[in-house]
Amino acid sequence: METKTKALFLDLDGTLLNDQKEITPGNRSAIEKALAAGHRVVITTGRPLVSAIEQARRLDLTGLGCYLITFNGGIIYDLGAKKVIFEKNVPLELVQAVFEEANRRGLHIQTYDERQVLVEPRCDDEAVRRYCSIILMTYSVVPSVAALTREPAKLLLIDFQNKAPLEDFQAWVLERYGDKLDSFFSCEQYLEVIPRGMSKGNALLQLAGLLGIPQKNTVAAGDAANDLSMIEAAGVGVAMCNGTEEVKAAADTITTRDNNHDGIAEVIEKYLFDSSEM
């Protein structure tokens, strides 16, 4: 007998969270209703695992039925069992090569271990401090990423002033290593460098398979470019009405309420409990 369980994949910033980085009472109540009905709720974010776990804890989304997809698909984490169930990482030789080119261009670049952000001495101190204050993490300065022994899930370049140097660097990454790496902007200031084939959409399909939930029973909601793959992969792809035009064009439907006015509660009521909409 086919399961009636559904899985809801939610971006954080601009989607589940309001502009004050909080979950609205209406969204919280709707998520509690979804979990009580046996559905699965998956926070799906570009944030590092440790930051996403802390965010899930603050939102009280850490029990059975709650999952994380972090690093834009690099890690899948079972919050109830407190364990990683999938990860995909950047090979160490590529980490070093990309860092060297970023340093040559005078760009800020960073990576991650299990607990914190890692930067080299030539980093932009202001950029990394500002970033860490946003995602609730600490950072450590390492002499060189050449000394790393564990492959990281992603690399991140930051420029809070000018997007053009990041766009040029993205073109270099894709031209030089496009068969092994992918690169995209998660926001105007952040350029992600990740393993080829890693995406929120692929992680959505993988987790749904692990949970025995058919693709048609998956719902994904987001607002930005790094949400496109999961919106396209889901049975129902939902764009927030405050999302980018690119995301709205790719989605099956667009919310009538934004992230400040219980937009996710609207999604849950319409696509997890109204069977005629699936």
Q: Which of 67, 5, 33 is nearest to 275 (CA)?
A: 5
* 63 in a structural domain: yes
Containing domain of residue 102, as a range? 92-195
In CATH, what number is assigned to the domain containing residue 120?
Answer: 3.30.1240.10
Q: Above 90 in pLDDT, residue 79?
A: yes
Q: What is the pLDDT of residues 106-128, one digit of tens each?
A: 999 999 998 999 999 999 999 99
Number of domains in the chain: 2
Q: Are residues 126 and 191 in the same domain?
A: yes
Residues 62 and 101 in one domain: no
How far apart are the C-alpha atoms of 263 and 241, rounded to whole Å? 8
Same-domain status, 98 and 184: yes
CATH code, 220: 3.40.50.1000
- What's this model's pTM, rounded to 2 decimal places? 0.86
Same structural domain, 175 and 207: no
The C-alpha atoms of residue 87 and residue 73 are separated, in whole angstroms, by 8
For the chain, the average pLDDT equals 95
User: Is residue 71 located within the same domain as residue 138?
Assistant: no
The answer to whether the Cα torsion of 257, 259, 262, 267 is positive or negative is positive
Does residue 2 belong to any structural domain of this protein?
no
CB 260 within 8 A of CB 24: yes
Rounded mean pLDDT, 205-214: 97
Backbone angles phi, psi at 97, to 5 degrees: -65, -40
